[in-house]
Amino acid sequence: MPQETGYDPDLGNKFVFVTGGVMSGLGKGITAASLGRLLTNAGFDVTAVKVDPYLNVDAGTMNPYQHGEVYVLKDGGEVDLDLGNYERFLDVDMTSDHNVTTGKVYQEVIERERAGDYLGKTVQVIPHVTDDIKRRIREAAEGTDVCIVEIGGTVGDIEGMPYLEALRQFSHEQDEEDLLFTHVTLVPNSKNGEQKTKPTQHSVKELRSIGLQPDILVGRNPEKLADDVREKIALFCDVPTEAVFSNPDVEDIYHVPLVLEDEGLDEYVMERLAIAEDALPAAERSTEWRDIVTRDATGEVDVALVGKYALEDAYISIHESLKHAGLEKQVDVNVQWVDADEMGDEHEERLRTADGVVVPGGFGARGTAGKLDAVRYAREHDVPFLGLCLGFQLAVVEHARNVLGLEGAHSAEIDQDTPHPVIDLLPEQYDLEDLGGTMRLGAHVTEIDEGTLAERVYGATECTERHRHRYEVNPEYIERLTADDLTFSGHAGNRMEIVEREDHPFFLGTQFHPEFRSRPSRASPPFVGFLDAVMERADVAAGTEVTQ
């Protein structure tokens, strides 16, 4: 075996490889994350790897319309939103090593070739690219019991072929009981409602043509698979009937682990990986997830999310953070989309009737006028406000313009000719040649002033949150900005991190992204504080709070 794989047969890791067929967007990431949640409940240390076959080194330069939001990890990695689902479902902090992209792999292989590491060999996809893929997966799995590896895209995509070949090689390098191949595929309905198996059959045929035989099939259909359909899939795809599982549509993605548990997927996986005897007895397994996600709500509130991307995945972590706060307070949070770029009557009505306003992050000039209007509306009408990253910066711009009277004040990112650049480029960002991975990224500590709203929200005088920005509050304007009811209550050295208003019931902006650390069992403090204010304004009683 080539030395560069780094393979150690004594590592003892178990791997579950998850592929998808027929079409993208089936939910294989949620399926994989849900399985990870169930294995965690059973007492195992679980991690995950997301493979993205695109040539980008990371997701940092992608438009959210392409792949949804760019999720930021604690080490500053800019990754696919599926990593966010893994962190939320598994309640772990992942690193850039848990996201494998074709850009990373080829960059590494080419750099090694230029350095002469291959000793004159012809560098090829097999073995050099596939060896690097296997190395990355194994290194990410080190120190854990089970590693779930999701292969992005669908079987048959040309971009994904090296990864599927790497998985085929895995099956030759490790014991059979160390690996489990799970295939998530579409089982569509015909016009008369019949569940059709042919797309699944063709998808599995494609897999088998490259040397991969799935051990488990998960069928995506609005309803559970009928028994005869499961038997037909098993017969034509050469798996036991008990290895065919349903993953029907559910009201909330957090209910998927409950459905798969009822299906018995976790027990089957543990048996196949020969770890069932090491699992906690059923009576001792954690029920925290089930208890949290099945709580009954005692009321509901409406929150306006003012952004420029009419795509929920572009703001998925914010949606989930609002949901987490709602789970803690036992309140349903109805997110009302307000298009910052098309502030027509319908969207203005949503803003006016909302119980709270959230202005998210973003880049570029489009939609900033609408976001500024939303900030002003929330400030002038005492509506609870939460601004995140760009939302924080625009709260500063709105104050400079409409409270201090600094005409034309703006962010230098949006208006380079502004006479009052109250938001300006970070000093270390000048003269950068590359845009990828060069922002202020990842987890940084913020010191919080005592006696402030921020201290009450966090219950502490410091917090550690994740960042993703090139611009900051201009230090030359801080004295003027804080002269009239606006306070910077959080700092990182001379950088302003949290803004709040003394003349408002709840007005909070953060330069960082607290949504990236929120979990169903550990809601983000700014979102919980915001929801408290929203509920008070809407006169909605809170349910029993979760003991943290």
**Residues annotated as part of the active site:** 389, 513, 515
- Based on DSSP, count helices (H) and strands (E) in the chain, helices before strands: 18, 21
- Spatial separation of the C-alpha atoms in residues 2 and 306, rounded to whole Å: 53
- Whether 121 has a binding-site annotation, put simply, is no
Listed in order, strand segments (DSSP E) in 102-258 are: 146-151, 179-186, 216-220, 244-246
Helices (H), 64-160: 64-67, 81-90, 102-114, 130-141
Identity of the residue numbered 451: G
Containing H/E element for 533?
helix 525-538
- Whether 219 has a binding-site annotation, put simply, is no
- Whether 307 has a binding-site annotation, put simply, is no
- Whether 97 has a binding-site annotation, put simply, is no
- Whether 408 has a binding-site annotation, put simply, is no
- Whether 328 has a binding-site annotation, put simply, is no
Q: Are 30 and 253 in contact (CB under 8 A)?
A: yes
- Whether 157 has a binding-site annotation, put simply, is yes
Given the structure tokens 């939460």, which residue do they identify?
386
- Whether 299 has a binding-site annotation, put simply, is no
- Whether 306 has a binding-site annotation, put simply, is no
- Whether 65 has a binding-site annotation, put simply, is yes
- Whether 436 has a binding-site annotation, put simply, is no
- Whether 134 has a binding-site annotation, put simply, is no
- Whether 158 has a binding-site annotation, put simply, is yes
- Whether 527 has a binding-site annotation, put simply, is no
In the DSSP assignment, the letter for residue 430 is T
Half-sphere exposure at residue 378, Cβ-oriented, CA atoms within 13 angstroms: 37
In the DSSP assignment, the letter for residue 325 is H
User: Which string of DSSP letters, residue by residue, matches 24-82?
Assistant: S-SSHHHHHHHHHHHHHHTT--EEEEEEE-SSSSSSTT--HHHHS--EE-TT--EE-HH
Torsion of CA 481, 482, 485, 490, to 10 degrees: 110
Given the structure tokens 């307000």, which residue do they identify?
338
Rg of the chain over Cα atoms, rounded to whole angstroms, equals 25
- Whether 74 has a binding-site annotation, put simply, is no
- Whether 150 has a binding-site annotation, put simply, is yes
- Whether 529 has a binding-site annotation, put simply, is no
- Whether 28 has a binding-site annotation, put simply, is yes
- Spatial separation of the C-alpha atoms in residues 329 and 541, rounded to whole Å: 9
Token pair recorded at residue 383: 């509506």
Hey, is 466 helix, strand or coil? strand
Binding-site residues from annotation for Mg(2+): 82, 150
Binding-site residues from annotation for L-glutamine: 65, 362, 390-393, 413, 470
Binding-site residues from annotation: 24-30, 65, 82, 150, 157-159, 196-201, 232, 250, 362, 390-393, 413, 470
